[in-house]
Structure 1
Amino acid sequence: MKFLIKPVLALSIFALVAPVYAFEVSSKDIQEGHPMAKTFEYKGWGCDGGNLSPQLMWKDAPEGTKSFAITAFDPDAPTGSGFWHWVAINIPASVSELPRGVNIEKLGGQNLRIDYGTVGFGGVCPPENDGMHRYQFTVWALPTEKLNLNEDTSAAVAGFTLNSMALDKVTLTATYTR
């Protein structure tokens, strides 16, 4: 009987001192593993969608979070290196939701250049008949209020920077096919 009590007691004490957070991201516009609407398709490069960013919300960011970044990445793009659709940084820690078609600058954040050659969100636009593409919308919790990157910083360098310092990150992956 003594052997059963000690492990249970140890687990109970651990549960009291272990950090209790599970950083989560969700959306009213896109769902994990499901196709996105044409509203989120790019307008250009042969696509004629609404080019709006989806609504995103997150909760339970880790302690010490001072800002957020948002990225949208297509690992299935036929480039050999994927395709960056959005890199937004310096989003204040007080923000936990982005409305559809958000203006990041109005929230205090900053957009960087993406692979379309523009600054800001660029919707999905996989090549026709290229099969299903995954679009990874990632929210990054960061330990600093401001990243010293400018709008011409490449998405790859921004991704490297985010990976090197993030306290945590959560990803919602939606799909699209043309």
Structure 2
Amino acid sequence: MTSYTDSRFPGPDPYAPLGDKPSFPLSSSDFVDGGTFKPEQLGGSDVSPQLEWSDLPEGTKSLAITCFDPDAPTASGFWHWAVFNIPASVNELPSGAGDETLGGIEGVVTLKGDSGKRGYYGPNPPAGHAPHRYLFAVHALDVDKLDIPEDATPTVLGFNLYFHTLGRAITWGWHENH
């Protein structure tokens, strides 16, 4: 896994204040860690990338997946995807599973991201701003279910993840609109 902190990108490391957590293998067949995305993953097409993980920390009871752009020209970044209450038995999402039901997995909750869409919204930085990173994080949680309302924001999910994360794996890609 390549480091997602790099001077090419204007934003901070959003995970630095959350403390170190054990990592585990996370990859995608749709983009190389630290590389660029296929056109279908970009904003407008919004096909979520394939993600696969393994070797979750002992005690993992459920998972959450987020996609965050820390380089957006805001004081708070931009949430592209936030889903939780994924059973710990799930170890892969195929391309395109980022709809509201996460491909039909029972019990999952998908929040509206900053685009207003409930589901994956692909990379789409403002033209001419800078290259932006898109951090896909799989969070291994110590609870079967997070009791967060469906109308909550991804920031509320992030706050709850702070208290329940046993481990976190991150893979990332970048995109720039000229």
User: Is this a same-fold pair by TM over 0.5?
Assistant: yes
Q: Deviations over 1:7-51 (max 9, x none)?
A: xxxxxxxxxxxxxx96111010111111112111112xxxxxx21
Paired position in structure 2 for 1:96: 91
Q: Which of residues 58, 65, 73 is equivalent to 1:70? A: 65
Query: How many angstroms apart in 2 are the aligned matches of 1:23 and 1:157?
Result: 24
Paired position in structure 1 for 2:4: none
Larger radius of gyration: 1
Does 1:166 find its partner at 2:161?
no
Q: Deviations over 1:130-153 (max 9, x none)?
A: 121000000000111111112211
Query: How many angstroms apart in 1 are the aligned matches of 2:137 and 2:23?
Result: 15
Query: How many angstroms apart in 2 are the aligned matches of 1:90 and 1:53?
Result: 18
Q: Deviations over 1:54-82 (max 9, x none)?
A: 00000000011111100000000001110
Label 1:22 to 1:78 Cα distance change in 2 as closer, same or farther (>3 A): closer
1:105, distance to aligned residue in structure 2 (A): 5.5
Query: How many angstroms apart in 2 are the aligned matches of 1:22 and 1:162?
Result: 15
- Indicate if the aligned counterparts of 2:48 and 2:95 stay in contact, CA closer than 8 A: yes
Using the TM superposition, name which of 26-35 and 66-75 deviates more.
Answer: 26-35
Point out the structure with the larger helix share. Answer: 1
Tell me the secondary structure at the aligned position of residue 107 of structure 1: coil
| Identity level (%) | 43
Q: Any residues of structure 2 matched to 1:79-90 within 5 Å, and which?
A: 79-90=74-85
Q: What letter matches 2:37 in structure 1?
A: M
Q: What letter matches 1:37 in structure 2?
A: K
Paired position in structure 1 for 2:19: none
The ranges of structure 1 where at least 4 consecutive aligned residues each deviate by more than 2 angstroms after the TM superposition are none
The number of aligned residues is: 152
Label 1:90 to 1:140 Cα distance change in 2 as closer, same or farther (>3 A): same
**CA RMSD between the two structures:** 1.3
- Indicate if the aligned counterparts of 1:105 and 1:111 stay in contact, CA closer than 8 A: no
- Indicate if the aligned counterparts of 2:143 and 2:164 stay in contact, CA closer than 8 A: no
Q: What letter matches 1:30 in structure 2?
A: F
Q: Which of residues 97, 103, 106 is equivalent to 2:104? A: 106
Where does the alignment leave 5 or more consecutive residues of structure 1 unmatched?
1-20, 44-49
Query: How many angstroms apart in 2 are the aligned matches of 1:78 and 1:174?
Result: 18
Task: Flag the structure with more relative contact order, 1 or 2, with Cα contacts below 8 A and sequence separation at least 6.
Answer: 2
Q: What letter matches 1:107 in structure 2?
A: I
